[in-house]
Amino acid sequence: MERRVEVLADQAALVNRALALILERVTTAIAQRGVFTIALAGGSTPKPLYEAIAQQNLAWDKIHVFWGDERYVPPDHPDSNEGMARQAWLNNVPIPVENLHPMPTDAADPIVAAERYEQQLQAFFHLAPGEFPVLDVVLLGIGDDGHTASLFPHTEALQVRDRLVTVGNKGGQPRITLTVPLINKARCILFLVTGANKQHALRQIFAPVGDEMQYPARLIQPAGELWWLLDAAAGEGIAV
Ligand code: 6PG
């Protein structure tokens, strides 16, 4: 589907818009399928959105939370995406513990952790071998280098097409990440981008022609909805 780009005045307006889009899809998913599934972005941008979601009165028992990527640290580590989402949102709502599906980071080998998460997804979504799950919403951010999730420029993770989960690599540091084909299966992908430091990457990602290996967010081309919510600082000068 064609990407939809919206430039919002500031972070608060971006959070409100993202929240509205998510709540619409929560309602639709639960009405149609009895469950809503979402994969969370890490980093700093989504934190105020997670805090806003925590203020909502939702059918928490019908909401299942996954992660799009994870730093290879324990959940109580300051860099943990799981830890950030729990602190900002999940510890503050009555969501059943079995509805939370964090990426494991306790195996000695990150490859084993990626395989375990893939098995968890296959079990939850009742997938046949080789089948990809369809998540209702995948939240993503971008780095100023054009990465998304833990799909970093010129890394092997960008090429993985036959797995649901793989090991990302940020300057030698292992990450666990959903793969490009899994992300692209989502019903709705929502990029949240704030800050002038993201302008250059955005221009390269939005350019009609470019290098997907250099700007991996270019690989995110879902059949479903593709939303880019930018604040004014990130969106300045971006043709929408
Ligand atoms: C992560 C994220 C990553 C993030 C971007 C943007 O684990 O860091 O999943 O892809 O979305 O790096 O991070 P900021 O929101 O902190 O700019």
- Around ligand 1, the residues with Cβ closer than 6 Å are 41-45, 69, 71, 81, 141-143, 147-150
pLDDT tens per residue across span 28-43: 999 999 999 999 999 9
pLDDT tens per residue across span 8-18: 999 999 999 99
Q: Which atom of ligand 1 is nearest to the CA of 149?
A: 10
DSSP H or E segment with residue 233: helix 232-235
The domain in which residue 240 lies consists of: 197-217+232-240
DSSP strands (E only) in the chain: 3-8, 36-40, 63-67, 69-71, 100-101, 137-140, 165-170, 173-178, 188-193, 225-231
pLDDT tens per residue across span 160-201: 999 999 999 999 999 999 999 999 999 999 999 999 999 999
Q: What residues in the chain have per-residue pLDDT under 50? A: none
**Tell me, what's the pLDDT at 139?**
99
Q: From ligand 1's centre to the CA of 32, what distance in Å? A: 31
> Of 120, 142, 119, 129, which Cα lies nearest the Cα of 191?
142
117 found inside a domain: yes
Q: Per the confidence metrics, is the pTM higher than 0.95?
A: yes
Phi-psi map region of 151: left, alpha, beta (phi>0 left; psi -120 to 50 alpha): beta
Residues 18 and 97 placed together within one structural domain of the fold = yes
Q: Domain count of the chain? A: 2
49 found inside a domain: yes
**Tell me, what's the pLDDT at 225?**
98
Residues 101 and 205 placed together within one structural domain of the fold = no
**Tell me, what's the pLDDT at 159?**
98
- Contacts of residues 11-14 at CB distance under 8 Å and 24 or more positions apart, as own/partner, are 11/48, 11/194, 11/231, 12/48, 13/231, 14/192, 14/194, 14/229, 14/230, 14/231
**Tell me, what's the pLDDT at 9?**
97
- Please identify, among 111, 128, 145, the residue that sits at the C-terminal boundary of a domain: 128
55 found inside a domain: yes
Give the mutation target among 150, 200, 220, 229 for probing the ligand 1 site: most ligand atoms within 8 A of CB. 150
**Tell me, what's the pLDDT at 1?**
73
DSSP H or E segment with residue 19: helix 11-33
- Please identify, among 93, 113, 128, the residue that sits at the C-terminal boundary of a domain: 128
**Tell me, what's the pLDDT at 195?**
97
Q: Which atom of ligand 1 is nearest to the CA of 46?
A: 15
Residues 205 and 105 placed together within one structural domain of the fold = no
